[in-house]
Amino acid sequence: MLLQFNFKNFKSFRDDTTLDLSATKISEFDNHVISIANERVLPVAAIFGANASGKSNVQEAFRYMSMYVINSLDYGDESDSKKKKSKFYRPTPFLFDVDSKNAASSFEVYFVDSEEKGAKTYNYGFSIGSTGVCEEWLNCKSKSARGNYKRIFYRRGNEYDFSGLPTKSQENLRIALERETLIVSLGAKLKIAKLKFIRDWFVNNDFADFGRPIENFFLSQLIPDGFADDEKVRQKVVDYFATFDSSIIGFNVEVLKLNNDGEDERIKIDAIHKMIDSEQTTSIPLQHESAGTLKMFAMYPMLEDVLSSGGVLFIDELNARLHPLLVRTFIITFLNPEINTKHAQLIFTSHDLWQLNGNVLRRDEIWFTEKDFDGVSILYSLADFVDEDGVKIRKDENYEKNYLLGKYGAIPSLRNLDMFKEE
């Protein structure tokens, strides 16, 4: 489970930023808290804020970190034509001051493994500058070691400490490591178990940005594993739809060959509906279903993956094209220990203020982003927020009302659209 995500100098976030999923000592919804490895962890975090305040950049920061861990072996110096590698992918720093624009960006996670695997806690991070990896570190502690992390490796520039790795692997790492490549990525390729485990943790996480039309379209084309040829998989998807829309009672799937070789193919999916006052059925192309239905279909594979692996699911604009009660059901899935047995986590952004009414989320599960006049975004929790008198927010407050009144910040600064007045 993700305990904490720290990052700095990424897009609108110039300064040190922390998204903490450790439960605070507040009293509401104690059943949300998952106890593991002497930690009290939350399965859900919701991020609210004005447009362009930086909500999406929190997800983008974690997505960049995950992408770099998974793909850094592919990056190299394009001037060396023999490598045939992709162009080095530097993160976008904060661009509105000279120091930050030229500085490295840093990313760090703390996460805990399952009880079945020993419930060890890991601290992994790296910083990326204009030419490659500046620093990288991995530390670990056992369930019984309170506060004492043991170094597995540390890297700064061209200096390395591999003391926590097998001796026979250390020389291979030194020989093959490039400035654009992470030790974790290379170590996973070399089948070093400790490093492959870290890389796989990132692989098990998933992302969806429903605010981007291109990504939205791409996600709508994805189908669950086995959907095309396994009736049991299709029935499971039907059961999933039945929780919010009972009109779809099945699917017809046809595999279309696009060439004579049969190598290229396309899956044609029709949704089966029952006809009115008849035992007969009719079918329509899935893409002709409503935008909300298509979104729920797109989320099914990701939901199934993270619930089965115990991963983290980041969703930008969870509320887009979905009824509030359906969003509530989706959130509650992660809060239900009978369904979420592997302790998967959901981190999402939203503009739906009903989620602030105090009946769904704890104060430490509610986060806000706000951007100042210099364009710098900050991220803070409702549980940590103090008013102008230095008093913390009470659990019996009307969060939704107070947020709209501007009591917690993170709302747009609006003016009348006077430019449309006739002169």
Chain segment 220-235, per-residue pLDDT in tens: 677 888 998 899 999 9
CA angle 371, 316, 59 (to 5 degrees): 65
Mean pLDDT value across residues 66-78: 84
Residue 280 in any domain: the answer is: yes
417: in domain:
no
Q: Give me 84's structure tokens.
A: 């045939």
Give the separation between CA 293 and CA 244, rounded to whole angstroms. 9
- Does 173 fall in a domain? yes
198 in a domain, yes or no?
Answer: yes
Pairing of strands 75-76, 281-285: unpaired
Domain boundary among 252, 270, 295: 295
- Together in a domain, 316 and 291: no
| Residue 304 lies inside a defined structural domain of this protein | no
How many domains is the chain built from? 2
Q: Does one domain contain both 97 and 192?
A: yes
> Domain check: are 127 and 84 in the same one?
yes
Domain co-membership, 81 together with 158: yes
**pLDDT-based confidence at residue 357 (cuts at 50, 70, 90):** confident
| 169 and 43 assigned to the same domain | yes
227 and 104: one domain? no
Q: Which residues, 6+ apart, have CB-to-CB distance to 331 below 8 Å? A: 44, 46, 346, 348, 355, 360, 361
**Domain that includes residue 259, residue range:** 221-295
137 assigned to some structural domain: yes
Same domain, 283 and 135: no
Domain match, 190 and 226 both = no
Banded model confidence at residue 79, pLDDT cuts 50, 70, 90: very low
Within a domain: residue 305?
Answer: no
- DSSP characters over 184-232: HHHHHHTT-HHHHHHHHHHHT-EEEETT-HHHHHHHHT---TTTTT-HH
Q: Do residues 41 and 176 share a domain?
A: yes
pLDDT of residue 303: 94
pTM of the model: 0.91
Residues 247 and 126 in one domain: no
Longest dimension (CA), the chain: 79
Percent of the chain surpassing pLDDT 70: 92
Q: Do 198 and 109 sit in the same domain of this protein?
A: yes
pLDDT-wise least confident of 99-108, 183-192, 274-283: 274-283
pLDDT of residue 212: 74
pLDDT value, residue 85 = 59
The pLDDT value recorded for residue 414 is 61
Tokens of 55: 């909500």
Whether residue 63 lies inside any domain: the answer is: yes
Q: Are residues 128 and 259 in the same domain?
A: no
